Amino acid sequence: MYRGLLILLVLSISSLKAELNSCAKPEPCCDIPAEPTIAAYNSPARIDVCGSKDTYLTLSFIYWKIEENIFVAKFKADGSDTTNNRTKYSTMDYDYKPGFKVGLGYNFLYDDWSAYIEYTRYHATNSVSRSRPSWAQFMEPVYNRTTATSGSEIDFKLKLEYDFLDLDLSRWQYEGQKLLLKAFLGLHGAKLDQDITSIFKIDSLSVTNNSIFTLKQWFIGPRIGFFYKWKLLDYLSLTGKGSTALLYQKFTKIFLRQEDQDTLPAGATTLTTTERSRSSVNGLFELMIGFEYDKYFYRNKYHFNCLAGYDLHGIASHILPPGWLALHGLTLTARLDF
């Protein structure tokens, strides 16, 4: 009898436990999530084409504009600094100019890491002319030596040649089902040349004062940052980038030549200054946001990607004329994986 009661009690407990673990109808039954088999593992998300060489090429067209607060001339209502009641500084005007980027990447089998090297070329010339306004009795240049006689007109030109190379090591990974992240670590190297030409006309003396200011420098340093991709549709994503670098800056030439024909009646006075040994440590930052379209094709043996974004590229330096140099504008990129 006791044995029968014991068997009945065990069966009752088992039935109650099965009832508690079962899913109530009509809601669907869901399995309890299992624990991960590999701790702290992020699923790779790099492009992987069939029978590939694990290589990809990129080509970008950039249409950027310089932002560098360079002063051109100073206008004063009165030639005397003590009685002058109105002053205005004129700055440089900049236009959007074209450039390009070209890159080569390789995907490693080891943990789906990728290596990428990219060269960027941006060369631009911007010019501006300023005339003394009617309210100003005195006009003086910024890069020419200050003269005792007011000028009438100034022609100003900035020529910039910026070439840089980025080398990155990175890995794409999923953060959820729609958000992809790629952290990268690498090096940034650059060569930057700037030439400023100032032609200052003094009509009252029928003379022209010329000035040439040249900066030649290179940078190198570690770079770190991230890319993100938020998939809006199957082939369309919102994408972006953020990075920073700490750069060693070395000047190979700092040259200033000024011709002043307002000091002595006998002729022009020329002042030349040259320096080649200055260095500094400065920062670089990059930001980008845009839209990206990507798709596999030809039996998944190739993958094509195109991106349209807005870039901001800035260098902070206390030695550059205004203390910083920024480039911003449109970037169009095409990529082919094969």
- 214-261 pLDDT, tens digit each: 989 999 999 999 999 999 998 999 999 999 999 999 988 888 888 877
Q: Roughly how many angstroms between the first and final C-alpha of the chain, as a whole number? A: 78
Least confident residue range of 31-45, 215-229, 243-257, 270-284: 31-45
Which residues, other chains included, contact 238 with Cβ-Cβ below 8 Å and sequence gap of 6+?
A: 229, 230, 232, 289, 290, 291, 292
pLDDT of residue 79: 67
pLDDT of residue 23: 47
Taking the C-alpha atoms of residue 45 and residue 177, their distance in angstroms, rounded to an integer, is: 10
Token readout for 294 is 């990507």
Whether residue 193 has pLDDT greater than 80: yes
Least confident residue range of 3-17, 167-181, 188-202: 3-17
pLDDT of residue 28: 57
29 located within any domain: no
Taking the C-alpha atoms of residue 146 and residue 153, their distance in angstroms, rounded to an integer, is: 14
More confident residue, 123 or 70: 123
More confident residue, 212 or 291: 291
pLDDT of residue 10: 52
Whether residue 94 has pLDDT greater than 70: yes
217 located within any domain: yes
22 located within any domain: no
More confident residue, 202 or 57: 57
What is the domain extent for residue 280?
52-66+94-127+160-337
**Overall size of the chain counted in residues:** 338
Whether residue 78 has pLDDT greater than 80: no
Taking the C-alpha atoms of residue 178 and residue 47, their distance in angstroms, rounded to an integer, is: 15
For residue range 138-183, list pLDDT tens digits in order.
Answer: 888 887 766 677 888 989 999 999 999 999 999 999 888 889 999 9
* Average confidence (pLDDT) over 65-91: 81
CA atoms within 13 A on the CB side of 102: 1
* Average confidence (pLDDT) over 3-22: 50
pLDDT of residue 81: 67
Which H or E run includes 309? strand 302-316
pLDDT of residue 192: 94
Secondary structure (3-state) at 20: helix
Taking the C-alpha atoms of residue 293 and residue 233, their distance in angstroms, rounded to an integer, is: 9
Burial class of residue 147, CB neighbours in 10 A (0-12, 13-18, 19+): buried
pLDDT of residue 270: 75
Supply the CATH number for residue 259's domain: 2.40.128
Average pLDDT, the chain: 84
Amino acid at 269: T
CA-derived radius of gyration, the chain: 32
267 located within any domain: yes
Taking the C-alpha atoms of residue 158 and residue 156, their distance in angstroms, rounded to an integer, is: 7
**Structural domains counted in the chain:** 1
Whether residue 4 has pLDDT greater than 80: no
- Bridge-partner residues for 245, per DSSP? 223, 284
291 located within any domain: yes
How is 270-288 classified by DSSP, letter by letter?
EEEEEE---EEEEEEEEEE
33 located within any domain: no
- Bridge-partner residues for 189, per DSSP? 165, 220
Q: What is the pTM assigned to this prediction? A: 0.81
Taking the C-alpha atoms of residue 107 and residue 53, their distance in angstroms, rounded to an integer, is: 9
Secondary structure (3-state) at 134: coil
If you average pLDDT over each of 192-206, 258-272, 317-331, which comes out highest? Answer: 192-206
pLDDT of residue 101: 98
245 located within any domain: yes
135 located within any domain: no
Backbone angles phi, psi at 257, to 5 degrees: -130, 125
Q: How confident is the model at residue 268 (pLDDT cuts 50, 70, 90)?
A: low
CB 79 within 8 A of CB 139: no
pLDDT of residue 177: 83
Q: What percent of the chain has a predicted confidence (pLDDT) above 90?
A: 45
CB 162 within 8 A of CB 122: yes
